[in-house]
Amino acid sequence: MRASTFRRLLNLWPPFFFSGIRLLSLDNDYTQARVVLRLRPWNRNYVRTQFGGSLFAMADPFWMLLVLHHLGNDHYVWDKAGTIDFVAPGREDVYAHFKLEQHVLDDLRAAAANGEKVLQWFDVPIRTASGELVALVRKQLYVRLKPRHR
């Protein structure tokens, strides 16, 4: 699917659409994505800062989607684990920038080539427009070559 079409569809996905999360850009080669979480009355917590669940949700699917696009139907790619470290209150719109390096994809392919499961951690900082760190999200992916390709 073309990146521009995928971006539009993802922006209409109810968990993003109703949470103020927007995929601002997705490179045509699916190596980079930029996401924003707008601070709105319906996604603020009791103390009027970004709701932690929305911060995690804005980062949740992207590592898996980017890796899956590159490894294709020959591999299983699943989210295995995730953590979030809240660093500072988010009192404004926040952004996450995902950049998937080619060497990481090469390493994943090589490690999964014998059919064994591979667990890989990916980090993404969530920052304000001025660069203040609000949270750090870590996601662990499970990657494995499908049986018919081993």
> What is the reported pTM?
0.93
**pLDDT for 60 beyond 80:** yes
pLDDT confidence bin for 1, thresholds 50/70/90: confident
Which CATH superfamily does the domain covering 3-149 fall into?
Hotdog Thioesterase (3.10.129.10)
Enumerate the H helices of the chain as residue ranges. Answer: 3-12, 14-17, 52-59, 62-71, 102-112
**87-98 pLDDT per residue, tens:** 999 999 999 999
- Report the alpha-carbon distance of residue 118 to residue 18 in Å, rounded: 34
Domain ranges of the chain: 3-149
**What local confidence, expressed as pLDDT, does residue 150 receive?**
77
**118-137 pLDDT per residue, tens:** 999 999 999 999 999 999 99
